[in-house]
Amino acid sequence: MNKRTIAIILLVVIGFTIYANTFANPFIWDDFGLVVDNKYIKDFKFLPNIFSEHLYSGVDYPSNFYRPFQSLSYLIDHSLFKLNPAGFHFTNTLLHVINSILVLGLIFLLSKNLFISFITSVLFIVHPVHTEAVTYIAGRADLLLALFSLSCVLAFLKYIFTKKKILYYLSLLAFICALLSKEVAVILPGVLILCQYTFSNHGLKSKLKTIAPFLAVCVIYVSLRLTVLNFATHSVFYFPFALGVRMLTFFKAIVIYLRLIVFPVGLHMQYKLEPCFSVFSPVAMLGIIIIIMFIFSLIYTAKKNKLIHFALLWFIIWLIPQTNIFPINASIAEHFLYLPSVGLFLILGLFTKRLINDKSRIFIQLLIAVLVFSFAVITVRQNTRWNDPVKFYEYNLKFSPDNFLIMRSLASVYNQQGETDKAIKLYEKSIESAARWKLDYFNTSIALSYANLAGIYEENKESDLAVDYYNKALEFMPDSHSLYLQIAGIYNDNGDYKNALSVLNKGIVNLKGKDTEFIYFEIARIYERLNELDKAMDHYEKAIAVNSEFSAAYNRLGFMYDLRNDDNLAIANYKKALILDPNDAFLYNNLGIFFAKRGNFKQAEISFKKAIELADENAEFYYNLGAMYAESNNYLKARQMLKNVLELDKDFKKAKIILDKIEGE
């Protein structure tokens, strides 16, 4: 077994050892929007949606993130592990381990030295600052970005050195995959130009020819993101200050980022980075000094040491797009260091190698071992902060006491645990905190807090308050069809169909075609309850006109035609619904009713059994099958099905009546 294989095995063992305690951690924070509540990652039929819509489309949450590979990875995880968080944590850890192996391969390719490569990769795999990307399931985008970016750079460099065309095409493919993983991949061509500048001896014309396809892909991607893949409904800028202020604040951010690498304690989510308005701010001045030293280092190493020069530029190229010089959706975050840190770890590896001689070898190796062990211990400890949602949010709130996102998440957990008074107070506080910013970017958070408050009041049967808070949520998120449905649902439950219809019709006007199929569908359901079947059918048709693949509307339309004894149109709509959604239990139940009414008990039995297979806790499905058995004089099976009904719902009167008749006979 050669030394490189041993190094890879060590990385695998170290990686899975220090992140093993994450496997018991629950879903937390954005994990719910991206995984738990996201319908798109639960069925491969949503694959086209994943590649044509934004990251949070599956939960009706506004966003302008386009990261289909992130959602695709969750879809694959869900197909393997369902909603077991351990499986998702395993994937994150596996990706991190693979990335560390790619770092090993990349640095070995450049340095031809296994010691430098191993030091760089082992620091990368154990460093505590990466827990935000690895321990947090929602941090998957950074892991995928690194996977494809490192693969792209590695293949590109090998192509430079060997001129094997297959490596060039693999590099281009990896670049496309990186773009589909996270938006910051647009800077990869800059990294590849750095590789050419540092390690290629080819002429300018040859270099331009090599890089041109990458730039073309980049232009196409940016064009698409600004047009058909632009999902922005408001400003996405989290840090809305002038360029001069952002530059000064960047100097502060550099100090914080370097501190996190050198002294990784007090790690947390949602850093509060106050804008810097003066060049004489102590932290800003320190950042300016660091940048000046950085520039001098670049000049000095340009000819003296290519690897250090490369490492410095790698760090700054990957970091600058994530420092709010160009406004983005967060001021500062630990996961922004995931790829840039490789450059700093490479520099440490190079210096360590330079310091080693016969006399200092044992001491230096011991020092590195202590450093790696210390980082590993901090990482393991940091992982435990994610295993209890209440402790996690309370811990992070200590660092950012006025952070409304943390408040809202903590309030949600309080509510789940039955501490509604604490939840209500925290939701209200989060609204006040977000409103102070007076930014459209935070409207969604305000709306969600109002909606969550409405949900609490709705659960407590305080309908008027619930409606008031849902309406307040609509003021901040007027394009959310689910809010109109929630308000209409309250009126429905109270038998106030007039107000329910009024709210839904208002939604049709305000949504301007976006998601209106759901509104039309709910209007149709109300008309069904009112026994106005013509109007119900008309609105099901309108829902289908908006979305021709809306299977539930075809299902209900088929049921309407069944009531009218129009067999051909009933079956036609049922078949269309089946094609669109072959796993709809209610559809099979309706088909069972259709066949049973026409005396086709064999097909009815097959349909009802399929409905029960798909939803085995629905008492209505068992009842329909039991009633069919009774009608066909199969009393033994009827008795068993009706007993199943009463086990699920002891107050199911119709089941009791038929069962009493059977047992009376």
Q: What are the tens digits of pLDDT across the range 173-202?
A: 999 999 999 999 999 999 999 999 998 888
For residue 262, being part of any structural domain is answered with no
Quote the domain boundaries for residue 571: 419-664
For residue 245, being part of any structural domain is answered with no
pLDDT value for 236: 52
For residue 44, being part of any structural domain is answered with no
pLDDT band at 234 (very low <50, low <70, confident <90, very high): low
Distance CA 646, CA 662 (A): 15
Distance CA 330, CA 340 (A): 17
Within 10 angstroms of residue 404's Cβ, the number of other Cβ atoms is 24
Distance CA 106, CA 153 (A): 8
Name every residue whose Cβ is closer than 8 Å to that of residue 210 and which is 6 or more positions away in sequence: 168, 196, 202
**Contact, 312 vs 343, CB < 8 A?**
yes
In the predicted model, is pLDDT for residue 491 greater than 60? yes
In the predicted model, is pLDDT for residue 361 greater than 90? no
Distance CA 415, CA 419 (A): 5
pLDDT value for 235: 52
For residue 166, being part of any structural domain is answered with no
Distance CA 78, CA 85 (A): 10
- Convert 208-226 to b/e letters by CB count within 10 Å (16 or more is b): eebbeebeebbeebeeebe
Q: Give the single-character DSSP code of 329.
A: S
Q: For residue 133, give the nearest of 22, 53, 33 by alpha carbon.
A: 22
120 token code pair: 């760089």
pLDDT of 400-412, one tens digit each? 898 999 999 999 9
CATH number of the domain encompassing residue 621: 1.25.40.10
Q: What is the pTM of this model?
A: 0.86
For residue 233, being part of any structural domain is answered with no
For residue 648, being part of any structural domain is answered with yes
For residue 566, being part of any structural domain is answered with yes
Angle between helices 204-226 and 188-199 (to 10 degrees): 170
Mean pLDDT estimate for the chain: 92
In the predicted model, is pLDDT for residue 240 greater than 70? no
In the predicted model, is pLDDT for residue 544 greater than 60? yes
Share of the chain above pLDDT 90, in %: 79
pLDDT of 299-355, one tens digit each? 999 888 999 999 999 999 999 888 777 767 677 899 999 999 999 999 999 999 888
For residue 567, being part of any structural domain is answered with yes
DSSP letters for 126-167 = H-GGGHHHHTSGGGHHHHHHHHHHHHHHHHHHHHHHH--HHH
pLDDT value for 441: 72
Average pLDDT score over residue span 598-615: 93
Distance CA 659, CA 665 (A): 10
The residue with tokens 């939960």 is: 59
pLDDT of 263-286, one tens digit each? 999 999 988 777 778 888 888 899
If one counts the domains in the chain, the total is 1
